[in-house]
Amino acid sequence: MKDRNAGAVNVFQTFQVEQKSPFDIDKLSSKLKYRNTDWSIPEAFLCILIKAAMADGVWDDQESETIKLVAGRSRALNTLSPEELAAANNTVNERIANRPEALQEACETLPADMCLPVFAHCVDIVLADGELLEEESKFLQDIMQLLDIPADNARRVMEVLLLKAQY
């Protein structure tokens, strides 16, 4: 007699999740608090993307095109009219030129749930030209800290996007 359960998959079986660091309610609540800054979320997002493209000191066409693609797909940016996007771009460039802490300010403006996707976009932009230079690697380390991305999450993002960049 054939076993009816042979080859069956139990979709609802329990599984073990790797132990994570302790939950820190103060850290989470401080990250989710409204911050009265002069940065809008689209400006902060755009600043971080531009800084990623400039991490190696060169404004590359491939990196620029990647930013345009991200802007077209991102809800934070594609809701802006072309005029609003141009104004945000001008504001960001002015702040980058005049504020040494512009990147940190931009990172602090983002909501917590936006940080990991923004980090992934940074990795994608840095890798757009097919190289990961030392300056770019340092930028990714810095932005990981500024966005408060856990090292394991950053490693997973890097692994996937490095593979993506190869093909």
Question: CATH number, domain at 148?
Answer: 1.10.3680
Name the 3-class secondary structure at 14.
coil
Q: Using only C-alpha atoms, what is the Rg of the chain?
A: 20
Is 49 a domain residue? yes
Cα 119 from Cα 140, distance rounded (Å): 8
Give residue 27's identity as a one-letter amino acid code.
K
DSSP state of 55: T
- Provide the domain count of the chain: 1
- The rounded mean pLDDT for the chain is 85
Is 42 a domain residue? yes
Give residue 94's identity as a one-letter amino acid code.
E
Is 86 a domain residue? yes
pLDDT at 13 over 50: no
Cα 48 from Cα 116, distance rounded (Å): 12
Task: Give residue 166's pLDDT.
Answer: 82
Name the maximum alpha-carbon separation found in the chain: 79
Is 30 a domain residue? no
Is 114 a domain residue? yes
Is 18 a domain residue? no
Cβ proximity of 67 and 129 under 8 Å: no
Chain centre to alpha carbon of residue 135: 18
pLDDT digits (tens, 9 = 90+) for 76-110: 999 999 999 999 999 999 999 999 999 999 999 99
Query: Could you tell me the residue range of the domain that residue 132 belongs to?
Result: 38-166
Could you tell me the pLDDT band of residue 37, with boundaries at 50, 70 and 90?
confident
Is 29 a domain residue? no
Is 7 a domain residue? no
